[in-house]
Structure 1
C-alpha cells in the first residue's frame, strides 16, 4: 500500500495479494516472515498460562472478572478484582512486543487504571513460567491473602552482614529480579533462619549519578522469605544501614509494573522522578536485558543498536517505567560518621 520504503521500524501499510486484506506491520516484521493476519491467523484469546494465573487468583478466595472492557473502556483488562481495586495483565512476549503494541501501551493502561482508583499489575510471560512461586507469593501479599504465612515482628529478628553467596541464593529464590552485584549485603535472621535481605551499592552513571560519590547509595534489592510476613523489617534493615555506613543520599526504584512505591513512602523516601518506559529484548520465550545486547565497538556506528538486534531476530518489549525515590541525610542524622563501616566490594 505504501508507495515507498521509509525505514525498518516504520509501520508500513500492506495489502495481501491473496485475499485483499489490508494491515499494518513494520518492514522488519515482514522480513522475518509475518504473513497476512486473515490468511494465516495467529492464536488469540486467553492463553493456557493466563487461564492458570486467573485460576490461582480465584483460589485465593476473591471474585475475578475476566476480559473486562468496562473499567477502562474500550481497552481490555485480563483480570479485574473489584473488591481489592486491583487489575492484572498477563503480558505474553509475542503479543505485547513492539511489533503489536507501542512503547507506551503498558504505561497507558496503568495510568488509566490509576485514574479509576485501581492498581494494575503487569506480569510478563517469562515471569509466570520461570518464577511462578515468586509471582504467587507477591500476589498473595498484595491481595492480603497471607494467613498461611508466619506473622512475626522485626523486633524478633537480628540484623547482620551476610556473604555474597547467602545473598544471591536468597535473592534467586525470593526476588523477582534475582541476584545483584552489591557492596553491602544485610540479612535479617529469625531463630537463626535468614528471612529477609536488603542490599546496597554505589550509584552509577547508568542510574543517573553524574559521578560516583561514595556517600550516594542505591538500595538495590529488598525481599522476604515467602513463608513469613515480617512487620517493620524493611525499616529495621534500612536503619542498620543508616547507622553503620556513611551516606548522604539513598535512592531506589519502584517498578511500576508491580509497585506504586508505598513501602518507600513509609520509609521516609520522597518521589524524585518518574522514568519513561524501559525495554528488554525478546527472542522466543525469554527477555534479555538491553545492557546485555548493547552495541559493540566493532559494530557499525551509523546503525542504531535496536536495528542491529532486529536483524539478529530480536524485538523489544516495553515496561511501564519506574518511580525513583530518594532519602536525604539531614544534619542531625549525619553527626560524626567517623566510626561508620566501609563497604566491601
Structure 2
C-alpha cells in the first residue's frame, strides 16, 4: 500500500483545525483522497502530483463536482501545486468556507479608484490567480478612524503591504474590463467584465463586492456585467445572491504543471515548461448581470 503523500497529510492536519472530518453520506468513487464536512455540505478533494495524475481526463473534476452537487454537496478541488505556491491564499479561502474569516463591514469602508501597481500587489498576496490587464480598478479602504474593528483580528496581515497611504487600509479590490458592444435581446448592450475580486487574506468584507459593483455602475453606467466563477472553488451562489444570472459553463481548461517545481502555465504551442504533465481544471460558470432588465 502506498503511503499517504505529505500533501494530503498537510491538508488533513489543517482541515482538522477548522472542523471535524466525517464519513460521507454515500460512497462515490473518487480519483484522489477527499474530506467531508456535513455541516458545511462540503467536500475537499485533494489532487497530489503523483503517477496517478496522468490518468485524469478533461472531465474528471467536473464529473466529481456534478455527482456530489446532485446531492447538494459542494466540492472544492485543491491541486498540490496551488497548495504549495499559494498556501496562504488556499488556507484563507478554506477558513472562509467554514465561516472562520474575520468580518469587516463594507459600510465602514470607502470606495476609491486604484492604480495598476496597487491592484497587482494586492492580488499577488490575496488572490489565487495572477493579475491581468484591466481598465477600471477599485479598492475598498478602511479609514483609520475605524481601525478599532480590527483589534480582535488575530491573523491580521502586515499592514504595510495593504496600506498605500497611512490613513487607511486596503481591504478588498475589484477590476473591470473596458466596454464592448454586444448584441443581446434585439438590442446592443455596452458590456463589461468583472475580471478579479479579492478580499484581504483571512478576512471577508461583508457586502464588499456589492459595494464595489455599485461604485463601478454609478461611474461607468454599463448595460451589463459579465463574470466567471472558478468551478474548482465556487458554485457561483455568491454571484447569484447579487443578481447575476447563470448563463452556462465553460469547458475545463488545460494546464501544464512541473510536478517538481510546481510551475504552472496554460498549454500553448510555444510552452517550454520542462517535465510537465497536462492537467485539467473544472472550467468556469459564466454569469451575467443585466442592468437594463434589472437596474442595481
Report the TM-score range of the alignment, normalised by the length of the smaller protein: 0.7 to 0.9
Normalising by structure 2, we get a TM-score of 0.81
Q: Which runs of 5+ in 2 are unaligned?
A: 144-167, 181-187
Equivalent residue runs for 1:122-271 within 5 Å: 122-146=77-101, 149=102, 151-191=103-143, 192-202=168-178, 215-271=190-246
Q: Which runs of 5+ in 1 are unaligned?
A: 1-42, 205-212, 297-307, 335-345
1:309/1:111 Cα in 2 relative to 1: closer, same or farther (>3 Å)?
A: farther
Q: Which residue of 1 aligns with 2:279?
A: 317
220-229 vs 236-245, which moves further: 220-229
Give 1:92 deviation, angstroms.
1.7
Normalising by structure 1, we get a TM-score of 0.70
Q: Which of structures 1 and 2 has the bigger CA Rg?
A: 1
Aligned mates of 2:293, 2:55 — CA distance in 1: 52
CA-to-aligned-CA distance 1:164-198 (integer Å, 9 cap, x gap): 11111100010111322111110000021000000
1:87/1:295 Cα in 2 relative to 1: closer, same or farther (>3 Å)?
A: same
Aligned mates of 2:120, 2:176 — CA distance in 1: 13
Higher RCO (C-alpha 8 Å, min separation 6)? 2
Aligned mates of 2:205, 2:196 — CA distance in 1: 16
Aligned mates of 1:63, 1:106 — CA distance in 2: 24
Give 1:78 deviation, angstroms.
1.8
Q: Which residue of 1 aligns with 2:250?
A: 275
Aligned mates of 1:96, 1:272 — CA distance in 2: 34
Aligned mates of 1:331, 1:141 — CA distance in 2: 32
**Alignment root-mean-square deviation, CA:** 2.7
2:269 corresponds to 1:295: yes
Give 1:289 deviation, angstroms.
2.9
1:331/1:115 Cα in 2 relative to 1: closer, same or farther (>3 Å)?
A: closer
